[in-house]
Amino acid sequence: MNLFNLANIPETERQKISIIRAVLIVSILLLAIKFLAWYLTHSNAILTDALESIVNVVAGAFALFSIYYASQPRDENHPYGHGKMEFLSAGFEGGLIFIAGLVIVGNSIYALFKPTEIHSADIGAILTAISGLINFIMGKILVKKGIKNNSLLMIANGKHLISDTVSSVGLVVGLVLIWFTKIVWIDQLMAIIFGAVILYTGFGLLKKSVNSLLDEADYEKLNLLITRLEKSRREKWIDIHNLRVIKYGANLHVDCHITLPWYEPLEAAHEEVTAVEQLIRTNLGSEVEFFIHADPCITPTSCTVCQVYGCSFRKAAFEKRIEWTMENMLPNKKHSITSDKKHQS
């Protein structure tokens, strides 16, 4: 598989690949700078930062391949596309970060009992500050682009680089304190603290990745979608239920059932379903695939919540407009006055 053969990849995916590739190149340069800083200072805390940068490079290389693989079109073996490769890559990165955190904490605790002398703390602080600033800029760009492109992998990489910046700030503070106080154990203490932060970051990425692979509900997107549907609902949309949003990398798959008047012809029902699709696509701002099942209304149960004016087939009077919420749109059940009372109780 040629990583540079991008002919069949959409432009948005090409941009993501270009960004990840640039970040990988810069990460390799930062790795060299951090090991230079460690060589000059013999600081265990700087070594901690440099070791994590190895994780950044390895994870970045795997992320580059994953973004490319996830952008491939659907095929017979992958009918929903390859987007979940992004979640696997984010989990791989989280696992590497977590392991690095364990190694760092263990090495730092050992170094407390066998400390080493710190050299050239001023130069180490300057090099660490430069690498931290570059990481912060790259992290901000990745998070911004990841949110725009709905890419968990880019967001995860960006947040990881921003957390590296926090570690770099702490390292600089620690080196300055060592420079003035000559207290060597501060270096080990800072390394242990940074190792704990790295453990927390890695565990968070790993958890998010696993949850995404298991199709955990995205309540933020569901709330946004339900709010927009409620605001723009048509009178023939008697209810929408069994609503689900599943992520496949940057792409989304939306399932739902819509209850429509039973007497409407197929063409009219298709028009209403298309209107729902257009509304969802406009508000989710991503590549969206739909599976919308049209249900006929049931008389007289549906009549009490149906707002179709002048329906000649009505078997019961309209009683109440039910507001669409997560509680009544997620279950696989048509809306009714009885079900609405249960949700309110």
Answer yes or no: do 202 and 67 share one domain.
yes
Return mean pLDDT, the chain. 81
Structure confidence by residue, pLDDT tens digits, 218-260: 777 788 888 989 998 999 999 999 998 887 766 778 889 999 9
Q: Which of 170, 190, 213 is at the close of a domain?
A: 213
Answer yes or no: do 130 and 144 share one domain.
yes
Q: Which of 193, 213, 233 is at the close of a domain?
A: 213
Residue 301 lies in a domain: yes
Residue 6 lies in a domain: no
Residue 4 lies in a domain: no
Percent share of the chain, pLDDT over 70 = 89
Answer yes or no: do 183 and 275 share one domain.
no
CATH number reported for the structural domain that contains residue 260 in this entry: 3.30.70.1350
Q: What is the pLDDT of residue 339?
A: 63
Amino acid at 247: K
pLDDT band per the 50, 70, 90 thresholds, residue 21: confident
What is the pLDDT averaged over residues 272-298?
84
Residue 322 lies in a domain: yes
Higher pLDDT, 336 or 80: 336
CA-based angle 21:22:28, to the nearest 5?
Answer: 90
Structure confidence by residue, pLDDT tens digits, 163-193: 777 777 777 777 787 777 777 777 778 778 8
Q: What is the pLDDT of residue 3?
A: 46
Residue 111 lies in a domain: yes
Place of tokens 């990841």: 146
Higher pLDDT, 334 or 119: 334
Answer yes or no: do 167 and 267 share one domain.
no
**Distance separating alpha carbons of residues 136 and 158, to the nearest angstrom:** 8
Answer yes or no: do 55 and 190 share one domain.
yes
Higher pLDDT, 341 or 237: 237
Q: Which of 92-101, 224-233, 334-343 shows the lowest mean pLDDT across its residues?
A: 334-343
Answer yes or no: do 156 and 227 share one domain.
no
CATH number reported for the structural domain that contains residue 91 in this entry: 1.20.1510.10
Phi-psi category of 81—alpha, beta or left, where left has phi over 0 and alpha has psi -120 to 50? left
Structure confidence by residue, pLDDT tens digits, 114-135: 766 667 777 877 888 888 888 8
Answer yes or no: do 63 and 48 share one domain.
yes
pLDDT band per the 50, 70, 90 thresholds, residue 1: very low
Q: For the chain, how many structural domains are there in total?
A: 2
Answer yes or no: do 205 and 224 share one domain.
no
Residue 30 lies in a domain: yes
Answer yes or no: do 201 and 52 share one domain.
yes
Q: What is the pLDDT of residue 237?
A: 93
Q: Is the pLDDT of residue 10 over 70?
A: no
Nearest-CA neighbor of 238 among 334, 313, 314, 345?
334
Answer yes or no: do 259 and 189 share one domain.
no
The answer to pTM > 0.75 is: no
pLDDT band per the 50, 70, 90 thresholds, residue 9: low
**Distance separating alpha carbons of residues 91 and 126, to the nearest angstrom:** 33
Residue 3 lies in a domain: no
Residue 23 lies in a domain: yes
Answer yes or no: do 184 and 256 share one domain.
no
- Domain extent at residue 330: 219-344
Q: Which of 162, 189, 213 is at the close of a domain?
A: 213
Answer yes or no: do 46 and 103 share one domain.
yes
